[in-house]
Amino acid sequence: MVVERIGPGHAREAILLGRAASRLVILAAPALLVLALIGLLVLRFGGGAASTALWPEQHVLFLWWNGALASFPSEIWSAITLLGDAAVVLALFALLLRSKPQVWAALLASVPAGALISVSAKHWASASRPAAVLDSATFNVIGPILQHNSFPSGHSISAFAVAAAVIATWVARPQRWHDWALILGCLLAATMVAVSRVAVGAHWPLDIAAGAAFGWLAGLSGAALALHSGWWTWLCRGAGRHAAGAALILWGLLLWLRPHETLSCIAVVGLAGLCAISVGVFLLLRGPAQRSQTSPEQGA
């Protein structure tokens, strides 16, 4: 029998990967708890996920929440809710490719899980949105009036996927005050995006709670994929950087062509497009990196 010897470098890397994976499991616990509580509520009231749109408690909470948030200008909520668009937020965070490529790789890798959860859960639940259940004259609506596929909130999934991916890869082991400030900032930003879905009249409160939990898990899945640096090092620093740069430039140009009704939305999309294009040009012009400096211990 041949026994393969494992060098100390490989053993250390395996240990670090194991520790990072354990931290991801711990980080997933709150989201799993939220989903379990939502599941218990659905079982308690019966009727499946589609019935959540008919709960009187949801109606009362939604109307109060929506009314309280209506005191803020609609342009603010339009811009904030746009940050839950995966195409926009990924373009904005493309700037991380220059200094924190693993973080952006985690964001990118979280997209498949987030999209799959969003599409499949919405199709499975088939829950009605507020405008299909309540008289739209009784609450504030910003933007198009939506009526179908309410549960869960896709924007909340995107926002919390970003928060989880950034936290898990950038500040996996917070020690200094600015680490905690970054964590708090990510959570507050994601929460504001989720809350904006009630402010614009598009989702019930339970939709955003479920979306936040699903998004958190999607973000952690992206962080787990980013632990293996081979693919994103090739894409961001190796031979694939030219294709990535061209894709980002095209991405930014397409964002600039998207029509929007408010100046705040135009500003957000314009900035996102500029970020994508500038980083795309940077990738096209840069030379190949010698080696990746990111270790599993720095990741999730």
Domain-embedded: residue 175: yes
Kindly indicate the confidence band of residue 68, based on its pLDDT and cuts at 50, 70 and 90.
Answer: very high
Domain-embedded: residue 174: yes
Which pLDDT value is given to residue 49? 87
Residue 42: give its domain's CATH number.
1.20.144
Q: Which domain, by its residues, includes 24?
A: 17-229
Which pLDDT value is given to residue 4? 40
**Structure-token pair, residue 215:** 């998004």
**Structure-token pair, residue 226:** 């980013």
Average pLDDT over residues 16-40: 85
Domain-embedded: residue 133: yes
Domain-embedded: residue 259: no
Q: Please state, rounded to an integer, the average pLDDT across all residues of the chain.
A: 88
Domain-embedded: residue 208: yes
To the nearest whole percent, how much of the chain has pLDDT over 90? Answer: 70
Which pLDDT value is given to residue 150? 95
Average pLDDT over residues 215-234: 91
Domain-embedded: residue 284: no
Domain-embedded: residue 71: yes
Which pLDDT value is given to residue 18? 62
Predicted confidence (pLDDT) per residue in 146-196, tens digit: 999 999 999 999 999 999 999 999 987 888 888 999 999 999 999 999 999
Q: Is the pLDDT of residue 71 over 70?
A: yes
Q: Is the pLDDT of residue 297 over 80?
A: no
Which pLDDT value is given to residue 25? 83
Which pLDDT value is given to residue 16? 56
Total tally of structural domains belonging to the chain: 1
Which pLDDT value is given to residue 294? 46
